[in-house]
Amino acid sequence: MDPPFNEIYKNLLYKQITNTQNNVPQIPFSFSVTVAVEEVELPVIDVSCLIDGAEKEREKCKEEIARASREWGFFQVINHGISMDVLEKMRQEQIRVFREPFDKKSKSERFSVGSYRWGTPSATCLRQLSWSEAFHVPMTDISYNKDFTTLSSTMEKFASESETLAYTLAEILAEKSGRKSNFFKEKCVRNTCYLRMNRYPPCPKPSEVYGLMPHTDSDFLTILYQDQVGGLQLIKDNRWIAVKPNPCALIINIGDLFQAWSNGVYKSVEHRVMTNPTVERFSTAYFLCPSYDAIIECSGDCPAYRNFSFREFRQQVQEDVKKLGYKVGLPRFINHLC
């Protein structure tokens, strides 16, 4: 069932590797593994009033969403319109798929070639290794999948309802930052938005290996449904904090593109997933992304970032990961003329 982590990464797991070696790039400070961090509950926002609340209640909710996006870059939503039945079915189907033998998963024809991913092929040291496996599934794969299995129907339900929620939140954030709210329905298309089903197997070296390396998301916003195992951590006030799981909530986080588009008003916050020595962890995330040719135009009289296309941003991220072993992201696009 598990990918062959121990076999493929045995040199990293069982031999001491230091950054003094010429072939290992310098690792950012935030990549140091810290186990003991404070567990906190993210801001919790009841979004039901956006549908059936009075105008005053709707405005209060919108402001709470904008404030959390400015101050935290992460928040939780409850009464979000996606039923617990759909979420539980999504979890069950995800577990069933990941329980399949590794050879079957890695050659699965359910989705596009390359959808199944595991580990970190570019890793040159333990801190660059992600102890996880995932199915990275474009929305178009879900829409056009006509095999009518329980998995495909469940994914379609989860994806379409996540998509609706994502547009709602994005339009609110656009409104609260003074931008056009119709941008997302015009520019964010199904062939670039995607679901990612994640599994984090038990890890023999949880104090040294991440489930998912520290990173920011290369999208506008992410909707995450996770189990109750825990392990998600983020940076708040220059320190790592652990997110306390909430069984009734979905986690929302701001991506790099929203930070640039809002001229830094909303924060794309670095986060990571820690491993567990005995328990596996599951999560499913929806990523709201624009078309590859969409231009991310920073707002304001003094834009912090230069204009760039989503295609250019993705290519730069891929080049940095290949060359350095980690993502640089928005600092590559700072506007030095302002």
Residues forming the active site: 281
SS3 label, residue 55: helix
Q: Report the C-alpha gap between 27 and 325 in whole angstroms.
A: 8
Q: What is the DSSP string of 130-185?
A: B--EEEEEEHHHHHH--S--HHHHHHHHHHHHHHHHHHHHHHHHHHHTTS-TTHHH
Structure tokens at 68: 């959390």
From the list 276, 307, 311, the residue with the least C-alpha distance to 291 is: 311
Tokens of 85: 């039945």
DSSP state of 6: H
CA dist., res. 303 & res. 317, Å (int): 21
Do 178 and 299 form a contact (C-beta atoms < 8 A)?
yes
Q: Which residues contact 203 (CB under 8 A, 6 or more apart)?
A: 131, 209, 211, 275, 276, 277
User: Which tokens go with 66?
Assistant: 């904008």
**Which tokens belong to 77?**
């939503």
Helical residues (DSSP H) of the chain, grouped into ranges = 5-8, 10-14, 49-52, 55-71, 84-98, 102-106, 139-144, 150-176, 183-187, 256-261, 310-324
Helix (H, G, I), strand (E, B) or coil at 239: strand
